[in-house]
Amino acid sequence: MAGFAGKGTRLIMSANPIIDASTVWQGAAIGDLTNISGPTMSAEEIDISSHDTAGNFREFVVGFKDAGEISLEGNLTVGGGADDLVDAFKDRAARRFAVVFPATGTSTSISSTEGYIGAWLRWMFDGTVSGVETATPYDDKAGFSATVRISGAPALLASSGSTT
């Protein structure tokens, strides 16, 4: 498959906080988003250099990995995506998230029993809404930004055909 335009990418957030790893979830798309960035994954570098290091070049090993965060921007509207993100921020509970890319079809919701026909690609992860900000410049649209901190390992899932 060739590359694709980002228009139509969806962020789906579970309706309820996560109870445990086996929690069945259903979620709906956060509306009015104009940009979804991330995850911004990184890994610690642990310097293991010593007096005996060959060639006087530092040596490193990888330490803990950090799944990072997802950054969001959107249009500030009554009943729009910012409302759901503010509620999730206030309850401080972890939720399940999915970033569903447009090459995956037009579905705006995910449930544990929903099947997908055709190719799909998406990030799946647990996280918490760690920040929400609104902006109302006098010469531009009113908007919002938000950050979702990922907890644990995200999964980039893909399929080239039907699945249920």
Closest CA to 75 of 141, 132, 133: 141
Successive 10-residue mean pLDDT values, the chain, 164 residues: 78 83 76 94 96 93 97 90 91 92 58 52 93 95 96 88 50
C-alpha span between 64 and 33 (Å, rounded)? 31
For residue 25, what pLDDT is reported? Answer: 72
Q: What is the pLDDT of residue 163?
A: 46
83, 99 contact by CB (below 8 A): no
Cα gap 153→81, rounded to integer Å: 25
The answer to whether the beta carbons of residues 155 and 129 sit under 8 Å apart is no
pLDDT at 7: 87
Contacts for 121 with CB less than 8 Å, ≥ 6 apart: 101, 103, 104, 156, 157, 158
pLDDT at residue 16 in the model: 80
Whole-number Cα distances in Å, 7 to 29, 31, 92, 100:
14, 13, 30, 11
Segment holding 82, helix H or strand E: helix 81-91
CA angle in degrees (0–180, nearest 5) for 55-56-62: 100
